[in-house]
Amino acid sequence: MNTILNVKDLCKTYITNKRQNNVLKNVNFQVEEGEMVAIMGPSGSGKSTLLYTVSSMDKMTAGEVNFCGKNIEKLNDNELAKLRLEDMGFIFQQMYMLKNLSVLDNIILPAVKSAKTKESRAEIAERGLMLMKKLGIEEIADNDINEVSGGQLQRACICRSMINNPKVIFADEPTGALNRTSSDEVMNELTKLNNEGTTIMLVTHDAKVAAKCKRVLFIVDGNIKGEYNLDVTSNARDRERALNNWLMEMGF
């Protein structure tokens, strides 16, 4: 199994009003190809900062992050932008989409902007429609983004994250703005993608969401304090119960 992400002694420090805030402190972990890993921890523990830093959306202060063998600290801005566009997919709690484009046009935009493929726009649009059909939202392809539900829009964001066949999807609280039914639908789709081989790293505060992952990293005050491997052979209720018991032991 190949290592997608190798993080060594990662530190992130912000300076606010001349005061130093050490958000991440010597963080070490790996993510293997095909894994689905959740990052959990109390509010302000550094979960989202960790996600943004290892995905190169934010600059690290110290340490090393290797993405598919590339040290991202040694890449220039253009190389980082290309890496994020072509090899990474992103899903956020707030479903950022361009209001002047249809749902389908939002989904295919990263592929249109990428030099990764020599496909025509029509061929890219066909792939986008196939992804939408796979996630059960093909009927909203021509809709404006304000004409669909939150659950549909988040599934469209998943389609967009997949359009360039990324090596990994980074998701920051992907169900945080959804009700339970829509949350379950979105997580079922992410689980299907993972079962098909897509590597996923997500931040969540929801144990029900994290229980669908294969591994959970627990972060407190910028340090990873524990790691839990879920039993993939057990049913969803048992997985959630076991994870909740471990989280209680960790003080969550």
CA distances from 65 to 17, 21, 46, 75, 111 (A): 28, 21, 16, 11, 26
Taking the CA atoms of 165, 166, 168 and 170 in sequence, report the sign of the dihedral they define: negative
Identity of the residue numbered 73: E
- pLDDT, tens digit, 9 for 90 and up, residues 82-129: 999 999 999 988 878 999 999 999 999 999 988 777 889 999 999 999
- pLDDT, tens digit, 9 for 90 and up, residues 13-58: 988 887 888 899 999 999 999 999 999 999 989 999 999 999 999 9
Identity of the residue numbered 2: N
- In order of start, what are the domains of the chain with their CATH numbers? 3-249 (3.40.50.300)
Tell me the whole-structure pTM to 2 decimals.
0.93
The count of other CB atoms within 10 Å of the CB of residue 79 is 13
What does DSSP say about strands 168-172 and 199-203: parallel, antiparallel, or unpaired? Answer: parallel
